[in-house]
Structure 1
């Protein structure tokens, strides 16, 4: 077990009167055990309680090595894993339940009157995962370094012969060359007016002179995610598109400049958004400024106008303002940032100067 992480969670459990909890998310189980298990439709639960009794219930189909500090309880496909879990849970106490646990498992546990009452235990683990420890920070730096290298190679690969879909396949090869384990999310490659859709799905479109090209890409390295967006232009760039680009770049920089311990997420969003709003493009910045990231590409927490929580050292999240003019152009610039004791560290090093390929 990752004991320091576990101790932090137990302290939170105690303060919130949650004496026992089950986790089912592969990401959260990995966070505590260092083992990644994808159970599919089969039940997977890590039971923890404030007395230090930790048990992993897992199907014997998944060969998990011994984990220090955890009893592994195996079951066969013909067994009833809920019965095994019922025998573990203290029926006289509250049980925290992972928000990702399939309802059909939870309903069966409720029907057995397995505990005093059920509560959502996910905020406890989610908030613990928001603050990265030294090991995680190094992994996020490495993952982002790989993403920088991939971005550099991808931009250089751009040519008129390649469709958006073809560029996605090229990206997959580049991530493999850079020793990533795959994409952290489905890449967004968008040419020209396609870039005005922030979540455009790459299609058969080919790039034409004067087009903006959005590269929103990320990979996974040892289960930690990267995410970065750059917008380049093909062959030439109009003055209007250059103006839009520079505004988005300024918004990105202002957002990053606002990051330091004690600042609210909503104030970071405001710092970036005001640049775009004051220039008359406010209605074309259609999404939040950023999201938290770590083991999952969208961890708990975001950089938005409604999030009044203060940022703290160890948090990692994106700053990704954009302007999207329907039928014309889309520009987004995204970096991952780490909150330090005194300010901010930008994890992405790939240039934000306007590039014409």
Structure 2
């Protein structure tokens, strides 16, 4: 989908999601955005409404035209679920009635954005099944991807959301420091990775954070698994000598179900016992250089008014790791969209798992987290970046040296 530079680089306005979507659709020349959900298979529907509507049991449609008022089409058994203040509701009972109502709201629209990704290039966008796409095409319009519409209308942070992210990232920075200290002070007790994960979860509660899963606490060869999940009875004992990777994420606890506080996500590594050897230093340095190269490209391009696409930022980091001789050991994308969900629906920094051609627009947050994974240990350094009015900002602490944990 074409991207209008002026629109894409606006910091989030006080307007609501539906109004922002209409602004974007109008300026890029798309006639409307049709969001279809069935039994919560498309989370974009609830996000666009700005609230969770419970117990929807039939297909439901949200139509956001470039010109005109948004409308909802829902089965008659579900219409009573929508609270006051929702867009205008139209009900149906049969499939034929549903299609008739779709024809009516679509009208003469020639192009419609939906949660569709050509050739499944962006799985995070591709929420709608092929049959639904066929149905809408049969009514006349061309269906295009809603990826850029989602990012502009849903993924840019408000001022309040930015502050919620700062709350979370500061708490995470404190917790990771406390955790490394705790490991060193309690090494004699032969604590396991799972024990340390439980300690971290306890710190989250005291810090006022909520989390859906995690954290990653990975010792020695387990740090070679990017998403290692320590289980009780199966996790390794953290010894006096070794390598430790900790990846933690969470967000400020919500005051209501409709609250959209922004997550934070960081990864740090440490050496226990003897100082890191030359291999540790070499791999760590390559990862840090890759991280910094990615941020430098992002910062330079944004300040020049030429925001890069997600794949370009990934390539900047991947080139550094390739030149260091570890390209085959960098097995995942560089970073992900950061929102209420820790892995959100905006642009990913990815030229590996996908080729994300969405622009990293102002007002969004992303992680930068290159990693190198060898059989004996893995290194990842993860920072969070917000694209504000003055350019990209690293919102938390930035690891530049291997943490040394004294174990006596």
TM-score bracket, shorter-length normalisation: 0.7 to 0.9
C-alpha distance in 1, partners of 2:90/2:175?
41
Distance 1:165 1:132, change over 3 A: same
**What residue is the counterpart of 1:11 in the other structure?**
23
- Choose the corresponding residue for 2:217, options 189, 199, 205: 189
C-alpha distance in 2, partners of 1:244/1:173?
32
- Choose the corresponding residue for 2:394, options 346, 350, 356: 346
1:319 aligns with 2:368: yes
Instruction: Say which is worse superposed, 262-271 or 291-300, in terms of deviation.
Output: 262-271
Structure 2's unaligned 5+ residue stretches are 1-13, 117-125, 255-259
* Residue pairs, 1:190-209, within 5 angstroms: 190-203=218-231, 204-209=235-240
1:52 aligns with 2:69: yes
C-alpha distance in 1, partners of 2:52/2:270?
36
CA offset digits 1:6-47 (Å, max 9, x no partner): 223113334443335125477534544432346586655434
C-alpha distance in 1, partners of 2:95/2:270?
53
- Report the CA distance between 1:346 and its aligned residue: 0.6
Distance 1:177 1:52, change over 3 A: same
8 A contact 2:62–2:70 mirrored in 1: no
8 A contact 1:293–1:316 mirrored in 2: yes
Match of 1:303, SS?
coil
- Report the CA distance between 1:162 and its aligned residue: 2.9
1:275 aligns with 2:320: yes
C-alpha distance in 2, partners of 1:310/1:101?
20
**What residue is the counterpart of 1:227 in the other structure?**
265
**What residue is the counterpart of 1:329 in the other structure?**
377
Normalised to the residue count of structure 2, the TM-score between the two structures is 0.71
- Choose the corresponding residue for 1:153, options 158, 178, 188: 178
1:294 aligns with 2:339: yes
**What residue is the counterpart of 1:123 in the other structure?**
147
Match of 2:403, SS?
coil
Distance 1:172 1:122, change over 3 A: farther
C-alpha distance in 1, partners of 2:61/2:298?
37
1:246 aligns with 2:285: yes
Match of 1:228, SS?
strand
C-alpha distance in 2, partners of 1:61/1:190?
48
8 A contact 1:212–1:331 mirrored in 2: no
Structure 1's unaligned 5+ residue stretches are none
Instruction: Say which is worse superposed, 80-89 or 283-292, in terms of deviation.
Output: 80-89
RMSD over aligned CA atoms reads 3.6
8 A contact 1:151–1:350 mirrored in 2: no
C-alpha distance in 1, partners of 2:179/2:54?
30
C-alpha distance in 2, partners of 1:42/1:154?
47
**What residue is the counterpart of 1:210 in the other structure?**
241
Normalised to the residue count of structure 1, the TM-score between the two structures is 0.79
C-alpha distance in 2, partners of 1:11/1:61?
27
Distance 1:148 1:5, change over 3 A: same
C-alpha distance in 2, partners of 1:182/1:220?
7
Distance 1:61 1:219, change over 3 A: farther
8 A contact 1:215–1:231 mirrored in 2: yes
Match of 2:385, SS?
strand
Query: How many residue pairs are counted as aligned between the two chains?
Result: 347
- Choose the corresponding residue for 2:35, options 1, 6, 22: 22
Match of 2:292, SS?
helix
CA offset digits 1:258-290 (Å, max 9, x no partner): 222125244433433343333322322222221
Match of 2:331, SS?
coil
C-alpha distance in 2, partners of 1:61/1:154?
49
- Report the CA distance between 1:178 and its aligned residue: 1.7
C-alpha distance in 2, partners of 1:89/1:35?
23
**What residue is the counterpart of 1:66 in the other structure?**
84
- Report the CA distance between 1:205 and its aligned residue: 1.5
C-alpha distance in 2, partners of 1:206/1:288?
30
C-alpha distance in 2, partners of 1:257/1:324?
24
C-alpha distance in 2, partners of 1:164/1:44?
44
